[in-house]
């Protein structure tokens, strides 16, 4: 009788572990909510890098997962003449622009996306 109870408890623990793993695989596990699907990616219409003479490196606070990166990229890519690529590991955004980008505008876009701009560095012009 004691062994049966142990087996039932063991099966229940395994079932809960499998359920949690499947849930993380299907919905993702991120700081942005486990049940929240990633936002749809906004793609820039002009993907020719030669058309973007201004390059900036932005350091972002609060970017922890791919959903965070997608939100920040979408914030910039939704603006005409901007093309952003986020790096979650480095917590940076590489921003290509057709016209010079002011730090205040970058700070506002980052803030509107729900994150904080830590540093703004112009790579070239």
Q: Given 3.30.70.100, 3.10.690.10, 3.30.750.24, 3.40.190.10, which CATH number is that of 49-124? A: 3.30.70.100
Task: For residue 14, give the 3-state DSSP assignment.
Answer: helix
Q: For residues 122 and 125, what is the distance between their CA atoms, to the nearest angstrom? A: 8
pLDDT of residue 28: 57
Q: For residues 67 and 27, what is the distance between their CA atoms, to the nearest angstrom? A: 12
Element (H, E) at 120: strand 116-124
Domain extents in the chain? 1-30, 49-124
Decide: residue 70, CB within 10 A, 0-12 exposed, 13-18 middle, 19+ buried: buried
- Show pLDDT as tens, one digit a residue, over the chain (125 residues): 788 999 999 999 999 989 877 776 665 555 666 556 777 899 999 999 999 999 999 999 999 888 899 999 999 999 999 999 999 999 999 999 999 999 999 999 999 999 999 999 999 75
pLDDT of residue 38: 72
Reported pTM? 0.73
Q: Are 109 and 64 in contact (CB under 8 A)?
A: no
pLDDT of residue 36: 64
pLDDT of residue 33: 61
pLDDT of residue 67: 87
Q: For residues 15 and 18, what is the distance between their CA atoms, to the nearest angstrom? A: 5
């Amino acid at each position: 009788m004691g062994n049966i109870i142990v087996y039932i408890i063991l099966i229940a623990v395994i079932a809960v572990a499998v359920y949690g793993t499947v849930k993380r695989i299907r919905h993702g596990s991120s700081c942005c909510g486990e049940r929240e699907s990633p936002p749809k990616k906004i793609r820039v219409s002009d993907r020719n890098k030669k058309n973007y003479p201004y390059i900036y490196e932005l350091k972002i606070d609060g970017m922890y997962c791919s959903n965070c990166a997608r939100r920040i990229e979408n914030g910039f890519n939704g603006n005409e003449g901007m093309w952003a690529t986020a790096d979650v590991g480095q917590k940076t955004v590489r921003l290509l622009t057709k016209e010079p980008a002011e730090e205040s505008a970058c700070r506002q876009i980052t803030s509107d996306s729900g994150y904080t701009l830590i540093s703004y560095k112009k790579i070239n012009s």
